Chains A and B, each alone.
Chain A
């Protein structure tokens, strides 16, 4: 099965490693063009028509999400996005925010299109790719250079201990419950996306794919279910502690230590125990 790997700087090694597992020969290209969804969809369409691969592999980056579904639709296909395992013709991806895995079987002829989840395949060797310059670039879109908001007030990446809070906290008024734990531990307070979306904690305390990527010695996930968008931001923690009322929450899959229970009972008890050690 011939495989076409579309490589951007992000996840390059992982995409090539996955492509090599999926079939051969593998052709790897990077698109040598300023990014817009229109321009990349057209460029990769041209490349796919030229190479006629059975499978096209992408990294599941924000860029891929922006244009690859458009491209797949031009071939009467949809993108089997964010796969975590498998090889043709059956791939594994998470559904219901990580509560379940699904085996997804490709049907019909190629080309098929898949994007791999960050961290699911180990990068191997040094990536070699050919640049592809499309014959006639087209776009209806004008993109400005990427920017960051004003410097982050909080740098979570340097923290040794992080206490992170999720939806389980229920209301803004309950934030002091986890603040007390952070204080007892001398930890930085962080949160999953929904907490920052709701304005209960500032955006610059967000951990996850759209926030900060952290690797503390200990990461306390309090009332965080563990959707992949959060996990990618904290997988590098040396020790993960999860406190959640749902024993099936995906966070327990990555936790080294866990307590299944009501955080409003467990966290205050934990604060007491930690205070005892500091007397």
Chain B
């Protein structure tokens, strides 16, 4: 079966993030980037499904030139080929509908049997690119998936609900699933995989005319650090002093120890 995995490149976890001069996005200078974590689980699930059922895994991502590095890393883990829709950062930061449109246009001709992506991104966190992608391609979708079982012509999934509840859903293929982290164990790229990835194809799609990119229905007007909670007491100094102070407060002020 042909499986497409839509991945996103986001700043490295624990990067020191600053708001840019315009106050509308982060300052990306000197930042490192990596695959969005839930997308890594989607990729792993695709690789495992291929091992079980055969076929091909295609990774697709929209973003500036730097995104090709993250696609290459996915190829090193075992994906067969990549598609990079090269667009400016501003195109991918404002609106998931626009990103989903770009992905849908590229995937229409590929006609995969299954499309996987992470349930949300670690940067914008709108949590809907996969669902919108399904809609644009006219496919059924299911979200926050913890288990994928391929059956002839259809897929049966275990969907996570709130408070430890789950539900099984069945739908015909092709379909789009958004994957929850933790449903599998992530693999590392092997040296051989990294070597092989260098020769794998990454198709680059460039968009020149603005007409090809539908406009946003909402824009980030301002990005800022949330207001600090003034009520909290922070103890500093050496660990021993801070710990002693904390225990004293918990015993005699909060009276909880």
Contact = CB atoms under 8 A, between A and B. Distances in A.
A78 B164 contact: no
Contacts of A74: 135
Interface stretch (A19-27, A50-58, A102-110, A129-137): A102-110
A73 B136 contact: yes
B17 A96 contact: yes
Interface residues of A, number: 96
B219 A70 contact: no
B86 interface: no
Nearest to A168: B14
A273 B243 contact: yes
A274 B256 CA distance: 12
B83 interface: no
A167 to B, nearest CB: 8
Contact of B123 (A82, A96, A270, A277): A96
A199 interface: yes
B144 A140 contact: no
B234 interface: yes
Contact of B254 (A76, A78, A79, A218): A218
Contacts of B100: 73
Given A149-B166, A257-B254, A103 B185 contact: no
A224 B239 CA distance: 18
Interface in B86-143: 95-97, 100, 119, 122-128, 131-132, 134-136, 140-143
A38 to B, nearest CB: 6
Contacts of B165: 146-148
Contacts of B215: 107-108
Given A96-B123, A259-B235, A145 B224 contact: no
Given A61-B162, A76-B217, A70 B125 contact: no
Contacts of B126: 69, 78-79, 81-82
A129 to B, nearest CB: 20
A247 B168 CA distance: 41
B123 A199 contact: no
B132 A261 contact: no
B21 interface: no
B240 to A, nearest CB: 5
A101 B226 contact: yes
A272 interface: yes
B112 to A, nearest CB: 17
A112 B216 CA distance: 12
A258 to B, nearest CB: 5
A230 interface: no
Contacts of B236: 259-261
Interface in B211-257: 214-226, 228-229, 231-236, 239-240, 242-244, 246-247, 249-251, 254, 256-257
B65 interface: no
Contact of B243 (A65, A105, A270): A270
Interface in A53-102: 61-62, 65-70, 72-74, 76-82, 90, 93-102
A105 B219 contact: yes
B28 interface: no
A66 B142 CA distance: 6
Contact of B242 (A105, A212, A259): A259
Nearest to B13: A167
A152 interface: yes
Given A100-B17, A193-B181, A259 B243 contact: yes
A74 to B, nearest CB: 7
Contact of B166 (A72, A147, A197, A250): A147
Nearest to B10: A96
Contact of B239 (A80, A212, A253, A269): A269
A100 B250 contact: no
13 contacts: A69-B96, A70-B131, A80-B218, A95-B223, A108-B215, A142-B171, A143-B167, A193-B181, A247-B234, A253-B228, A256-B233, A259-B239, A272-B243
Given A218-B250, A239-B254, 7 more contacts: A73-B132, A81-B125, A100-B17, A103-B222, A104-B219, A256-B254, A274-B257
